[in-house]
A and B are shown apart, each in its own frame.
Chain A
Amino acid sequence: ELKVEQNPLFLSMQEGKNYTIYCNYSTTSDRLYWYRQDPGKSLESLFVLLSNGAVKQEGRLMASLDTKARLSTLHITAAVHDLSATYFCAVTLNRDDKIIFGKGTRLHILP
């Protein structure tokens, strides 16, 4: 059974700081997704990582994938308040199959 674990589950940090959210998954997969959710809103796709060593960056967020370690990281650089949200990591075995989510990391950035 495919399982996805994120840590930390909650993170409070000051603006301007750097931090990393970790996502481990239990079964070989080469499709990993990062989503963001603001309170009461839908999940917004941030990154899709499709191969070992893939790295994608958008603004202050950078995601990477190590399929051998079954690990993805979401790195936040010089955090700003607007990045406060819940971030979900998700994995699927095959393209159209169900996507399995982690519990999410609730990020709270203090001004």
Chain B
Amino acid sequence: EAGVTQFPSHSVIEKGQTVTLRCDPISGHDNLYWYRRVMGKEIKFLLHFVKESKQDESGMPNNRFLAERTGGTYSTLKVQPAELEDSGVYFCASSLTGMRGANVLTFGAGSRLTVL
């Protein structure tokens, strides 16, 4: 079974430019989450999709960030225009809904974003 894949693995852009990160969750996983880790800090929640709907976007820092999940499959996270403080590692995770027990997220390897 393919895991959660993220692209690109590393992106270096200048302040003011645009970057789009992509996440392909595990097939059949309706839950899709975006998280971000700034160096030395906690992994911070950004938003949660259930299929194509945004279930919780309380962690999105501002309107420069736009997440989409058209068709309920892969998701994109666009940062426009990027600022220095947007640098960090962006993780995507997916999980099944409606199962008993814990909601165990499967994470991708992350997309490292460096804004110069």
Interface residues, chain A, with chain B CB atoms under 8 Å away = 4, 31, 33, 35, 40-45, 48, 50, 88, 90, 92, 95-104
Q: Would B45 and A98 count as touching, CB distance under 8 A?
A: yes
Q: Which of A42, A88, A101, A102 contacts B3 (CB 8 A)?
A: A42
Q: Would A96 and B91 count as touching, CB distance under 8 A?
A: no
Q: Which of A31, A102, A103, A104 contacts B102 (CB 8 A)?
A: A31
- Tell me the bound Cα distance from A104 to B91 in angstroms: 15
Question: Nearest A residue to B89 by beta-carbon distance?
Answer: A40
Residues of A within 8 A of B31 (CB): 96
19 new A-B contacts at CB < 8 Å, known A41-B109, A44-B107, A103-B41: A31-B103, A35-B107, A40-B109, A42-B3, A43-B43, A43-B91, A48-B102, A48-B104, A88-B43, A90-B43, A92-B103, A97-B48, A98-B33, A98-B48, A98-B58, A98-B59, A99-B45, A103-B40, A104-B42
Interface string of B80-115 (1 = CB under 8 A from A): 000000000001010101000111111111100000
Whether A101 touches B35, Cβ cut-off 8 Å, given contacts A31-B102, A50-B101, A88-B43, is: yes
Q: Which of B4, B40, B42 contacts A101 (CB 8 A)?
A: B42
Could you give 6 example pairs across A and B, Cβ below 8 Å?
A31-B102, A31-B103, A42-B4, A42-B110, A48-B104, A96-B31
Residues of B within 8 A of A95 (CB): 102-103
Interface residues, chain B, with chain A CB atoms under 8 Å away = 3-4, 31, 33, 35, 40-45, 48, 50, 55-56, 58-59, 91, 93, 95, 97, 101-110
Q: Would B45 and A100 count as touching, CB distance under 8 A?
A: yes
| Whole-angstrom distance between the Cβ of A51 and the nearest chain B Cβ | 11
Q: Would A4 and B42 count as touching, CB distance under 8 A?
A: yes
Q: Would B104 and A42 count as touching, CB distance under 8 A?
A: no
- Tell me the bound Cα distance from A90 to B77 in angstroms: 23
Residues of B within 8 A of A103 (CB): 40-42
